[in-house]
Structure 1
């Protein structure tokens, strides 16, 4: 018996028991669907979030104080002058700015809103490419140094506070302070940020002037290039430790470190879910072996007749092995299609970019083939070993 005859015989055997073959494939289909969907969504989500993070600047980094440090903390651990000095003297740092964030009620003539208030210097836009001025201007160095009470509102916030009025030149109240609106901006936010809070920017020196205990929480920096990030962070922390005479008091992290940590986390989760999904493939394989054993038992007389007519042991082995393999491959194909469909559906509603994971498809088909061979080998071998005389006597 050649390969094509064995293939035709195996297909005839599957077609003669369509319902049983379909139920046998079910475990394979469920397992492959799960593996494909998990891996495709994992890779798509990983790429999407990595891409989103990189929009905020691959060269960016943050410097902050370590609150677990044994050194005593003080309000001048980080200062505006530290950022300006490092920007001027470091060969690795393109720009370093102080940065604070707080939450406050901002009142306009039409409405009031709870707002995330960010205070920084005029150079902030140099390191934050996602913030674009829509109307007016960002505050200048003069605004910052002369403690001018000015504010830049997010576009949507300006509409909430002023309605159809032009917000430029108008005043808003923030606590006991009255500030002049000098500009509005639009920000390309992190796609997966579910926060609905609006934002506003004010000069940091003005912000510090009305704080009871003025302090700078973070220094945000941009290195000259991606290769200089580590050197920039190291020089900044060393400078701050030396100036403020505090060892192991300052910490830093870069955007690339965040990307790497996220990739490691999602990679681990994908592996865990894939292993769980793979268990159903093994269960499906056991189902294939069970059904093939039943098939061998039911077709014992057929096997006896084929052997009596000259079929060799390897012919019988090939027939049942191919039958097992076809069942698993068809189940694998259906599972791949369903898995890609499920991943595409979830990607659409989760607003993830569609991704075709070829690695997952190759692994799925490879695993299906391996299951077909591994779990079909025992029943096929059992059929091949049947004695033709005993097989012909079987009722």
Structure 2
């Protein structure tokens, strides 16, 4: 019996027991579906977030105080002047600015809103050129900052909330007991995976913000390296300058966006592997189901095997026939599992606002697993069928 005849016989055996074959496939389908869905979402989500990080500035880095150090801390550990000097002396740094984020209540003629307020310098806006665009007016300049002018740049949606249909440029907003003039509005591309509530932003000059504080401080420095190769030198130069100027060793830390991305990839990669292993357990269960059904099939077809052997079928012919039958069941189940897994992953991606994803690696692995399960768990029943004595098999009732 050649391979084609063995294949044809195996298909006929499966077709003759459609319900049993379908139930046998079910475990494989569930297992492959789980593995495909988990790995596709893991790889696709990881790729999508990496693209978002790239868009928001892969060359960015932050410099901040190491609060775990035993050295004494003070409000002048970081200053506006530190950023200005670093921008001039470091060839690896394109921009570096002081960065003080916070939340305030901002009131306009129409409404009062809670606002994410950033106090910084004029160089901050050029750092955001890929994600933030001026819609009206202007961003504050170095003169506004040095003269501590009470000016603010509002997110366009915030301007609409506070002023309605009135052009906010030149209008005033209240921030506590202080009145600020709106000099510009901007639109900002939001981070796609920000699942938080709707929020609005605004910018003010940092020296004006510090003039309102009893003890002025800078929370961190935010910088951009000239290119990816310059990120590490830029961070090292920033830490060395600050340590030398403030006479404090190991008092400053720096973290790049690339480090955050790498850390995220490591976590998501580990979680994907863990979930895939858990989902893969169902594949093993499905394989056991294949072996059980194939053993039942051998028992039911004992007389048929005896007749085949009596007519000249060799042991290898019987072995190959049952192995092919097992592999076909697993491959069909694997194909259905791949399609359903991709369908589920696409559905989740649609509702989670992820881009379309297809992980060819997981598809190839799924089919390899299906074939391996068919061979591994089908080998024992096939071998048992091949070893049957034809005389005993013909006597079997």
User: TM-score, normalized by length of structure 1?
Assistant: 0.99
Q: Distance in 1 between matches of 2:293 and 2:151?
A: 77
Q: Distance in 1 between matches of 2:307 and 2:228?
A: 74
Q: Distance in 2 between matches of 1:4 and 1:219?
A: 71
1:30 counterpart residue number: 30
1:17 counterpart residue number: 17
**Deviation sequence 1:169-189 (CA, Å, 0-9, x none):** 000000111000000011111
SS at match of 1:86: helix
Q: Distance in 2 between matches of 1:303 and 1:37?
A: 41
Q: Distance in 2 between matches of 1:197 and 1:72?
A: 36
**Deviation sequence 1:18-38 (CA, Å, 0-9, x none):** 000000000000000011111
Q: Distance in 2 between matches of 1:339 and 1:197?
A: 35
SS at match of 2:325: helix
Is 2:220 the counterpart of 1:222? no
- Dislocated runs of 4+, deviation >2 Å: none
Match of 1:204 among 198, 203, 206: 206
How much has 1:249 moved relative to structure 2? 0.7
* Contiguous gaps of at least 5 residues in structure 2: none
How much has 1:55 moved relative to structure 2? 1.2
Q: Distance in 2 between matches of 1:348 and 1:167?
A: 37
1:61 counterpart residue number: 61
**Deviation sequence 1:285-313 (CA, Å, 0-9, x none):** 00000000000000000000000000000
Q: Distance in 1 between matches of 2:215 and 2:177?
A: 17
Which is further off, 3-12 or 186-195? 186-195
SS at match of 1:287: helix
Is 2:202 the counterpart of 1:175? no
How much has 1:232 moved relative to structure 2? 0.4
How much has 1:211 moved relative to structure 2? 0.8
Is 2:192 the counterpart of 1:191? yes
SS at match of 2:282: helix
2:99 counterpart residue number: 99
How much has 1:194 moved relative to structure 2? 2.4
How much has 1:53 moved relative to structure 2? 1.1
2:327 counterpart residue number: 325
* Contiguous gaps of at least 5 residues in structure 1: none
SS at match of 1:351: coil
**Deviation sequence 1:203-260 (CA, Å, 0-9, x none):** 0000000112210001000111110000000010011011101111100000111111
SS at match of 2:223: strand
SS at match of 2:224: strand
User: TM-score, normalized by length of structure 2?
Assistant: 0.99
1:356 counterpart residue number: 358
SS at match of 2:218: coil
Q: CA RMSD in A?
A: 0.6
Q: Distance in 1 between matches of 2:335 and 2:138?
A: 58
Q: Distance in 1 between matches of 2:18 and 2:110?
A: 70
**Deviation sequence 1:28-82 (CA, Å, 0-9, x none):** 0000001111111111100111111111212110000011111111000000000
